[in-house]
């Protein structure tokens, strides 16, 4: 039974879509904010996302980009809904690589038809090993080469890319560390021993990789360490480097994770 995430701040829209989907035996997950949506996407791995373009705390394009840059869920079909589907919205939806832009108002029959088509297409790709018709960015894995992006824009210097990430995500500290624990770059509050922190992050990530192999898992993609007054996220930037960020307690973790993953290609280019 497919799980579909419906994201819209209008309860009326969520409810009418939910009823139509439940009639067709889909499992429906709902969110009214972008931050809730990214949390549900991370936690529940929906088979398809239906998302309004206009949300109180973000927009549907960013939610779509979050899905497209996710290492596990990049292929998840995304349908965006908009009551103002003009050329600029269509263009933005294309850039975000949404599968469908549905104009409001719509009938649930139209929505269901798109959902059926997208899910059937996903099943066909998965079962037959067919080449995906929708371009998908390769995930950034610790053992693989990082995605370099389209190279159309010049790479920012590392310090600037880190500072940009820190500002966007509201981080206290961001470090880039080599696998042997050597500090390559950093930005933020320097009230800690940076070299020690970097070396320990590399060590913990190495241990996580060993644990993963013992448990028969794929190579570790990243780690989340929860402390009393904050969270540390560790993500691979490619072979030989990792990014460790200190997230203050007040920051919404799914949004931070989204900004971190979005910044990874830029940081990798800057190295």
Rounded to the nearest whole angstrom, what is the least distance from the CB of residue 94 to another protein in the complex? 22
Stretch that binds another protein, among 4-12, 113-121, 190-198, 220-228 (CB under 8 A): 4-12
**Alpha-carbon radius of gyration of the chain:** 20
Cβ–Cβ < 8 Å for 93, 51:
no
Contact flags string 53-92 toward another protein, x per CB under 8 A:
----------------------------x-xx--------
Tokens 């799914």 belong to: 254
Q: Applying CB under 8 A, does 97 fall inside the site for another protein?
A: no
Q: Applying CB under 8 A, does 104 fall inside the site for another protein?
A: yes
Q: Which is nearer to another protein, 84 or 160 (CB)?
A: 84
Cβ–Cβ < 8 Å for 208, 201:
no
Rounded to the nearest whole angstrom, what is the least distance from the CB of residue 106 to another protein in the complex? 6
Q: Applying CB under 8 A, does 13 fall inside the site for another protein?
A: yes
**Single residue of 27, 108, 164, 231 touching another protein by CB under 8 A:** 108
**Interhelix angle for 253-270 vs 158-169, to 10°?**
170
Render the burial of 208-222: b for 16+ CB within 10 Å, e for the rest. bbeeeeeeeeeebbb
Rounded to the nearest whole angstrom, what is the least distance from the CB of residue 37 to another protein in the complex? 17
Rounded to the nearest whole angstrom, what is the least distance from the CB of residue 203 to another protein in the complex? 51
* φ/ψ (deg, to 5) at 143: -100, -5
Question: CA 19 to CA 94: how far, in whole Å?
Answer: 29
Rounded to the nearest whole angstrom, what is the least distance from the CB of residue 108 to another protein in the complex? 4
- Strand bridging mode 78-82 / 48-52: parallel
Question: CA 109 to CA 118: how far, in whole Å?
Answer: 14
Q: Applying CB under 8 A, does 136 fall inside the site for another protein?
A: no
165, 138, 142, 163: which is closest to 260 by C-alpha? 165
Burial (0-12, 13-18, 19+ Cβ within 10 Å), 48: buried
Residues 177-236 close enough to bind another protein by CB under 8 A: none
Rounded to the nearest whole angstrom, what is the least distance from the CB of residue 40 to another protein in the complex? 21
Question: CA 229 to CA 231: how far, in whole Å?
Answer: 7
Residues 15-34 close enough to bind another protein by CB under 8 A: 15-17, 19-20
Q: Applying CB under 8 A, does 11 fall inside the site for another protein?
A: yes
Bridge partners of 4?
28, 48
**Single residue of 24, 45, 72, 107 touching another protein by CB under 8 A:** 107
Stretch that binds another protein, among 70-78, 104-112, 142-150, 173-181 (CB under 8 A): 104-112
Q: Which is nearer to another protein, 104 or 137 (CB)?
A: 104
Q: Which residues bind another protein (CB under 8 A)?
A: 10-13, 15-17, 19-20, 81, 83-84, 104-109, 111
């Amino acid at each position: 039974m497919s799980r579909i995430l419906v994201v819209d701040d209008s309860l009326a829209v969520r409810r009418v879509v939910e009823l139509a989907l439940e009639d067709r035996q889909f499992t429906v997950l709902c969110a009214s904010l972008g931050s809730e949506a990214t949390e549900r996407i991370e936690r529940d791995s929906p088979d398809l996302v239906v998302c309004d373009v206009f949300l109180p705390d973000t927009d549907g394009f960013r939610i779509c980009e979050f899905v497209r840059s996710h290492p596990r869920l990049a292929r998840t079909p995304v349908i965006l809904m908009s009551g103002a589907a003009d050329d600029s919205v269509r263009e933005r939806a294309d850039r975000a690589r949404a599968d469908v832009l549905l104009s409001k108002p719509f009938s649930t029959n139209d929505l269901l038809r798109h959902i059926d088509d997208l899910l059937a297409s996903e099943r066909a790709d998965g079962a037959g090993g067919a080449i995906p018709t929708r371009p998908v960015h390769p995930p950034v894995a610790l053992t693989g080469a990082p995605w370099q992006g389209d190279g159309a824009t010049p790479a920012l210097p590392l310090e600037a890319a880190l500072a940009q990430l820190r500002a966007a995500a509201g981080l206290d500290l961001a470090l880039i560390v080599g696998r042997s624990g050597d500090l390559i770059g950093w930005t933020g509050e320097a009230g800690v021993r940076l070299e020690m922190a970097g070396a320990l992050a590399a060590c913990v990530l190495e241990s996580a990789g060993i644990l993963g192999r013992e448990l028969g898992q794929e190579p570790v993609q990243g780690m989340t360490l929860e402390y009393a007054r904050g969270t540390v996220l560790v993500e691979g930037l490619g072979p030989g480097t990792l990014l460790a960020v200190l997230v203050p307690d007040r920051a919404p973790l799914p949004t931070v994770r989204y900004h971190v993953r979005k910044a990874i290609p830029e940081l990798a280019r800057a190295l």
